[in-house]
Structure 1
């Protein structure tokens, strides 16, 4: 069954499967903008983290009920509550009792795929689509702990949104489990858009989500893992700071229990190490302060004594950016390219993996080296010397694929052209250009010495129009140049012309082109003025919907930084290329990270018996709950069953620094 068919079974499923969010659709843009403004107000005046200080909160254990365990498999997934096909495919992979994982995902990982990247009727060895002959898969058991790394719902948080985009798909993937894995979650910016209300109701009431069991009572958590590992989830409240109740919690449950040689895994909602290299050198300060003052040192609040713990953060995990990228610590006296050829468990790692369900993000502009704290940071002199991290060669998608995919927003035949993927964008562009056409035709009429735009269109020729167009574009270009010079003088360094100004100039050119077409049309003298006006407005609207949208898409593709550059991928809402991390703590203390990818997601589902014998919300004709789960449909040729592959070979992190 496709998503549309599943929506017809919403009452039986207990949720309504949703389509992927279209981020540049006008309705979505307006709704999200309102929520962002309200979230900023909540963050400043109604911070729910302060209220959480009155709630009892203790240390969690994983595996649940087995404090003596010396081994643990667990999963990390982030940015997951989007369209059902993408979110459900990842949930299905997480829920499998044993997951078959094939070799590293590279340029040849989809040899059996068609030109659109979806599995075809391959003709490999008759096995799993996308698997190469001789590829013996790894068998990885299901995790006993599931970590949700932020942005558990899109586009904005609400009780119904969590039900339809997160809880429902995960419950359908794993209705129950005989030994329920622990589930912990930290909020991202989209979870904060309602002031954290729905997040707290979903994850801090100790209620199950399908076969997973929640235990945390606040928007942050600390989990004791086997072999002296610790898992920390931080709530930085839209990237601002750590509240005092949260710091007290970690000082009591983490710092006070750390021993020399302990390893800490820190999960944060944003890769602030990347933001610090981009436009805000102080973005990483909060995480750096937490490392220095909570992990590496313990403050006794009663005595004021500050002692070193001799523990260290070994792995930083985050989502927020919807790709996979890893930065490895440069050990002293190493060149930046050393980690790629010399993996060393002693290195600390920074890993971004936001592939849980939301649109795919680009990787081709990631920095190659990150100094932390970066140059210009207020905390730069706190560590001597500052540590540098080098980007590993493997990203997902890789740089070449990232560039190719980004171009799709401006290519009409790609299937991901901006107007095709964002309902309402073309009508909005048509309306805007119709209004601009009226203004431009009025100015043209005044320049021709008439008062009615219709008369100017009828009586003038192209020779008259070209002079008018040159003056208009000259004035607009002059204003753009003046704005550029003003910023140049204020900043006293090179500055690019205003992005908004360039976009406005391009759209003005489209409007003038529509006006030129109407001037060139041979309107019969017998036509009334209103008929001429309707034809002109229709031509302007058509130009705006097609040409205006295309020009805007080209402008988006040309931008190299800022929010507009992110539209290159978010405007396409790419559903394929999803993934998560499966981690393993082995006896002895080594941590192995398996970065996993689903190059294509499932788009055809079926209800199947739940092998665990659990009860889902699906009901039989007699009204009795039936043990069923939603899984990828198996047909004579299983073209829709996702193949799980390694993004890069598993890497090992030792517990001790």
Structure 2
């Protein structure tokens, strides 16, 4: 049965399967905007991380069932609580006792189920609430793994969508040590530290919508991480956003907090006897994050690498930075990722920072692939595509139609004034194309004047290069559509016997019809033309692509090496069977298990940076 049929079995399932979020649908835009504003208020005036300092918080260990284990399989998945088909497909693969992945030219790889599941942020969309967590995350994961013979640890890191209610629902879901199916939660705060086998450590940092780390959180890591680090220990840091990418995109200070944490919590600590800072001789070997709904990897450039290398060969000595936000949310774009990042960048405003900065080079394999990402982004402006903006976002065309219908009387009055019409309601019937041309010249002159004044203002204010703002461009484009609608109504052969109000009503109807199509298309083309910023992000979020999902499976071997297996589900499951659940209800399982493959060859990270 499909998603619609599953929604009719809510009482048996214990949750309501949800469709993927339509981010540019008017209702969704309005609701999310309100939550974003409220989240900003919480961030400034009610930081729950400070309150969490009153809660006890211990060091966690994995695996739960065998604290003396010499190896460990575990998983990292992020951006997961969106539409049911994508989220449940990923959950079903995570829950499988083992999966076998083909490798061209070599023997298939058998991967054991992880004893630890790391949720890397944004566990629910579009905004956090108890109901949203139940329907979009907990229900699908509980159905995928109702129980487990061996206890499996689950730890979760909040992303910006988890913070939109001030973190209340997140703490109730993940910080009360309750079970989610076969997974057991053990953390008591929105951050965690897990001791892993073979002198590895897993750290989850809560940067709360991009702010600095709070004092209780820093004291927690100083107590449970810094104080226990030994020479040669390897640290895996999970953060809410890929700030290393943002630092190369005109935000040079984006990585500052993570770099400070590296220098002052991992690499050094304060000696309690002397009060002086001493080296721990431990290093962060892997950075893991989601937030961006894609897969990409940046590998450290070593001193013996040829300078300016476009691609770096595998080497266990390299530190790695991995973004994998393919857990369930819409597919993101990769074609805007910088090829190289320097951390921290030279423009970063930090008193103490590494010099020279470490250089990381983007690996060739991304998902989506660079060329595919460009192709997918353009689909939102193709009217014959099922991913066209108004098709994928219910209500968007109606919103644009309403805007242009309401704008038509205003344009009509201005047009009547410009041609000296005595009866404004009859202006479009009595005018000709010459009148329209003169009006268009006036409108164009005013638009150019406003544009020039805006550019001058921005140039003076910023004391540098200025370009038209995205908002100004969008308004001018819709004004052009309104002018085209006026031309259509002027060309219509209205009968002389019609009263003026009839002409106006027909004109508004034409404006609604033409505006719905042309206005939506112009808006989509405006988005496609954007090269960066929020408008460029809408190219992908506006399509809500459900396929191309995945996660990273990791293995700590008995020799201490860490191997990463980036896994991809090209096509998510859309047909489900119902099985009996242990609680007496039903649980959906894929009619056919999703096919899984490697995004790129597995790569190894040594716990210590070995000498060549």
For normalisation by structure 1, the TM-score amounts to 0.91
Contact in 1 for aligned 2:154/2:186 (Cα 8 Å): yes
Distance 1:267 1:451, change over 3 A: farther
Contact in 2 for aligned 1:336/1:390 (Cα 8 Å): no
Distance apart, 1:342 and its partner CA: 1.9
Report which stretch shifted further, 475-484 or 267-276.
475-484
Partner of 2:439: 468
Partners in 1 of 2:307 and 2:113 — Cα distance? Answer: 36
Deviations 1:237-287 (A, max 9, x none): 111011111011101100011000000000000011111111211110000
Of residues 596, 599, 603, the one that matches 1:644 is 596
Contact in 2 for aligned 1:183/1:214 (Cα 8 Å): yes
Q: Is 1:317 aligned to 2:269, yes or no?
A: no
Partners in 2 of 1:470 and 1:307 — Cα distance? Answer: 72
Of residues 181, 204, 208, the one that matches 2:152 is 181
Contact in 2 for aligned 1:579/1:596 (Cα 8 Å): yes
Deviations 1:36-87 (A, max 9, x none): 1100110111111111111111011101031210000000000000000010
Distance apart, 1:300 and its partner CA: 4.5
Partner of 1:306: 277
Q: Is 1:631 aligned to 2:589, yes or no?
A: yes
Q: How does 1:138-177 map to 2 (within 5 A)?
A: 138-177=109-148
Contact in 2 for aligned 1:353/1:581 (Cα 8 Å): yes
Deviations 1:595-624 (A, max 9, x none): 001111000011236xxxxx54453xxxxx
Partner of 1:602: 573
Partner of 1:111: none
Q: Is 1:23 aligned to 2:4, yes or no?
A: no
Q: Equivalent residue of 1:278, what SS?
A: coil
Q: Is 1:369 aligned to 2:340, yes or no?
A: yes
Q: Equivalent residue of 2:316, what SS?
A: coil
Partners in 2 of 1:40 and 1:281 — Cα distance? Answer: 22
Contact in 2 for aligned 1:616/1:629 (Cα 8 Å): no
Partners in 1 of 2:19 and 2:235 — Cα distance? Answer: 37
Distance apart, 1:493 and its partner CA: 3.2
Partner of 1:75: 75
Partners in 2 of 1:571 and 1:217 — Cα distance? Answer: 36
Partner of 2:222: 251
Q: Is 1:86 aligned to 2:80, yes or no?
A: no
Q: Is 1:449 aligned to 2:420, yes or no?
A: yes
Distance apart, 1:490 and its partner CA: 3.4
Partner of 1:47: 47
Deviations 1:534-567 (A, max 9, x none): 1100000111100000000000000111100000
Distance apart, 1:333 and its partner CA: 4.8
Q: How does 1:608-623 map to 2 (within 5 A)?
A: 608=579, 615-619=581-585
Of residues 453, 474, 477, the one that matches 2:448 is 477
Report which stretch shifted further, 460-469 or 335-344.
335-344
Q: Is 1:11 aligned to 2:20, yes or no?
A: no
Partners in 2 of 1:464 and 1:544 — Cα distance? Answer: 22
Deviations 1:368-416 (A, max 9, x none): 1100001210237521221111111111111100001001100011210
Of residues 461, 465, 485, the one that matches 1:494 is 465
Q: Equivalent residue of 1:582, what SS?
A: strand
Q: Equivalent residue of 1:321, what SS?
A: coil
Partner of 1:340: 311
Contact in 2 for aligned 1:442/1:452 (Cα 8 Å): no
Partners in 2 of 1:585 and 1:509 — Cα distance? Answer: 60
Deviations 1:75-133 (A, max 9, x none): 000000000001001001100111122347xxxxxxxxxxxxxxxxxxxxxxxxxxxxx
Contact in 2 for aligned 1:174/1:629 (Cα 8 Å): no
Of residues 320, 329, 339, the one that matches 2:300 is 329
Partner of 2:234: 263
Deviations 1:430-486 (A, max 9, x none): 011112211111100111223543211111111111110121022112211221233
Contact in 2 for aligned 1:328/1:339 (Cα 8 Å): no
Partners in 1 of 2:307 and 2:548 — Cα distance? Answer: 29
Partners in 2 of 1:339 and 1:229 — Cα distance? Answer: 30
Distance apart, 1:335 and its partner CA: 3.4
Partners in 2 of 1:337 and 1:57 — Cα distance? Answer: 45
Distance apart, 1:491 and its partner CA: 3.2
Contact in 2 for aligned 1:52/1:218 (Cα 8 Å): yes
Contact in 1 for aligned 2:83/2:136 (Cα 8 Å): yes
Distance apart, 1:338 and its partner CA: 4.3
Q: Equivalent residue of 1:264, what SS?
A: strand
Distance 1:136 1:411, change over 3 A: farther
Q: Is 1:279 aligned to 2:250, yes or no?
A: yes
Distance apart, 1:135 and its partner CA: 8.1
Q: Equivalent residue of 2:87, what SS?
A: helix
Q: Equivalent residue of 2:85, what SS?
A: helix
Partner of 2:198: 227
Partners in 1 of 2:352 and 2:169 — Cα distance? Answer: 40
For normalisation by structure 2, the TM-score amounts to 0.97
Q: How does 1:170-209 map to 2 (within 5 A)?
A: 170-209=141-180
Distance 1:531 1:339, change over 3 A: closer
Distance 1:31 1:300, change over 3 A: farther
Q: Is 1:56 aligned to 2:64, yes or no?
A: no
Q: Equivalent residue of 1:54, what SS?
A: coil
RMSD, aligned α-carbons: 1.5
Distance 1:82 1:618, change over 3 A: farther
Partner of 1:544: 515
Q: How does 1:209-224 map to 2 (within 5 A)?
A: 209-224=180-195
Distance apart, 1:138 and its partner CA: 2.0
Contact in 2 for aligned 1:103/1:646 (Cα 8 Å): yes
Partners in 2 of 1:414 and 1:41 — Cα distance? Answer: 40
Partners in 1 of 2:351 and 2:553 — Cα distance? Answer: 33
Partners in 2 of 1:245 and 1:466 — Cα distance? Answer: 67
Contact in 1 for aligned 2:478/2:522 (Cα 8 Å): yes
Partner of 1:121: none
Partner of 1:655: 607
Q: Equivalent residue of 2:588, what SS?
A: strand
Contact in 2 for aligned 1:380/1:386 (Cα 8 Å): no
Distance 1:135 1:513, change over 3 A: farther
Contact in 1 for aligned 2:65/2:151 (Cα 8 Å): no
Q: How does 1:549-568 map to 2 (within 5 A)?
A: 549-568=520-539
Report which stretch shifted further, 20-29 or 472-481.
472-481
Partners in 1 of 2:532 and 2:520 — Cα distance? Answer: 20
Structure 2 residue runs without a partner (length 5+): none
Structure 1 residue runs without a partner (length 5+): 105-133, 610-614, 620-627, 635-640
Distance apart, 1:136 and its partner CA: 5.4
